[in-house]
Structure 1
C-alpha cells in the first residue's frame, strides 16, 4: 500500500519536477547552448554584456559553475535514489533548488555592478545541494558516497570566491579559483567515470572487468584533490608542485582508464562517446605537466582539454544514456546522437588546436563554437521532450 501511495503522489507532480536530472539536464544544456554564442558575440564585438567580472571571466565561470555544476547536481541527486533506496528530491524542494541555480546564473549575467548577490547565490546553490546529498547518504550510513559533499562545498566556495575576486578587480586570484573549480569538476568526472564507464561497458559487451587494487582508486582521487587545492592560487603559481601532482594523477588515472575496456566500446555510441570523452582527462593532465616546464603548451590548452574535450563531451555522453534509462526508454540513442558526440569531441580538439596555432586562433575559435552549438542543438531537439514529459513506461520518476 505504501508503494502505491508513493507512486500516486509522484504521478501528481509535473514531470519536470519528478527527479533532479530533468530540470538540471535540460536547463544546464540550454545554458551551454546559449552561453557560448553569447560569449563569442561579445568577443567579436557584436554584443555588449556587463556580467560579473567581465565577459571573459563570466565565460569561464559559467561553463564550470553554471553548466558543469547543474549536470553534476542533476546526476548526483538522481543517482542517490538508486544508491540509497530513498525517494529522490522532487516536487517543490527540487523546484526551489533549481530556482537557486537559475538565480545565480541570472545574477552573474545581469548584476555586474552589484556582484554581492551573485557571490551569495554562487555559494548557496552547491552547498544546498551538498547538504541534500549528505542527508541521503548519512541516513543510510553509505559513507562511500559522502565524498561528493566536500566536493560540492568546494565548488561553492571557489565559485563564490572567484566571482568576488573578479568583481574586486583581482583577476589573477579570480582565475586561480576558476582553475580550482575546473580541477574539482575533473575530480567528479574521475570518481563517477571510474564507477559507471567500466560498469556500462561490461553490461553491454563481452568485456570482463577486473577490479583494480583499492589504493589505485584512492591515489587517483587524492592526487586530483591535491591539485584542486593547490590550484586555488592558480595552476601557474607553484609549477613544480603542480607538475608533480599532475604527473601522479596522470599515472593513476591513466592506469584506471586503460582497464575500463575501451577497445570493446566502438560498436556502441553510448559507450565510445564515454571512453573518448574521458580520454581528454589524461590528455589534459599530460598537457599540464608539459605546461609546467615550457610555454609551448599554454594553460588555455590544458583548461579546454578538461572543459570542452572532457567535461562537455562526457556530459553529453552521460546525458544521452542517463536520460534514456530514467525516462523508461531502451538504451538506444536517437539516430542523430552519434553526430552530436562526434561534434562535441571535435570541438574539444579544435579548441586545443586554437591555442596551439595562434595564426588560426580566431577561425578555430569560431569553428569550436559552431561545433559545440550544433552538438547541444541535436541533444535538446532529441531529448528535450523526454525531460519534460512522463516516463515512457508509465512509472514515476
Structure 2
C-alpha cells in the first residue's frame, strides 16, 4: 500500500495541508473520485431515475441498479432486492422500528445496549411508549462487548427484537455478530436481529449472510462516500413485512379513491418513496470502487497498525497515568479519553488551536454512557489516510495538555 498515493486522492488534505484529521468516526474524508462524481452527475446527467423516456433518464436508472448490485456484493446480500437506499443509517433504523409497528404488541420485548447511538435507541424508546413494549438492556462484559451467555439466558418467547451495533461509536468494541445472532436464534428463532453497521462498514468486512442477521443499516459518508445516502439491508422474508415509513411517488403500482385501494410495488422500491439522491448514489458507487480497489482488509490492517502504534507511544510517554483512556487496549480505530476535571471541549479546542489536530468531543450521541463511568469525552478516530507521524504529533499535544487554557487566556 502506497499511503502517499492514497493521501493524494483526498482533496480535503490538499486544501488543508496543515490539518491532522482525526474525526473519521463522525465522517470520513471523501476521495476526489467521490466528490467529482457527484458534480459530474449534475453537470452531465441530471435525470430523475423514475423514467426511461430519454438517454440520460435511462442512464440514471442504470446507475441506481448497478450501485444496488455493488452494495449487494459488498455486504454479501442474497439479492439486490434486499438492498434499500435511504438517506442514512438513522432513517434505516427508523424504517425498521416503525415499519414493525404492526408486528409488535403490548408486552413484547426489545433489547438494546447502553452503548447504542441515539439512532438505534430513540426510535425503539418512542415505539415502546406508543405500543407499550418492554425495553431491556443487553448485558455487557467488563470490556463492554455484548455478553452472549447472559443475553441468551434473557431471551424469552416475548423477545421480538434485539438491536445492537457491530462497533460502538464510543468505546469502539467490536461485537461478534455471527455468534450473537446464532445464540439468539437458538433460543427464539422468531426474534429479529437488527444491526447498526454505521461504525463498522468502512473499517472491516461485512457479510450479512454469514452473520444471519435480519436487518443491517449503514451510511455512505462513514465509508468514504457522500452525505445523504444510506442503505437498509433486510432478509427478504422479513423485509417484506415492513410497512413503509414514507409513502409517495415511485412505490405505488395502483391507487384508487373509490373504492379506496392501493397496491405497492415490489421490494426494494416499495421502501424508496420519492426521488432518490441519485447524484449521491452515483458518488457512493465511486466510494465502493475506492474501497474495493484498496480492499477492506488493507484498510482494517492499516487502522489496526495505527492503533497499536498509538498504544505504544501513549504508554511510552506515560500519558495513560494522567489521562483516563476508556479503550486504549482494544483494536478499535479510535481513542476515547478524558483529563480529570477538564471539559473535553477545552481539550479538543486546544488540540485544534495549538496543533491543528481535529478531534471530536462530547457525548457522541451515545446518551447512556454515563452509566458506564463517563458522559462526555474526547474521541480521536482514524482512517486510511492517517499516518504514524500524525499520531506522533497527537502524543506531543497530549504531553502539553496542561496548557489547554493558554490560547483562551
Which structure carries more helix by proportion?
1
TM interval, shorter chain, is: under 0.3
- For CA contacts below 8 A with separation 6 or more, give which structure has more relative contact order: 2
Query: TM-score of the superposition, structure 2-length normalised?
Result: 0.22
Which structure carries more strand by proportion?
2
Greater C-alpha Rg: 2
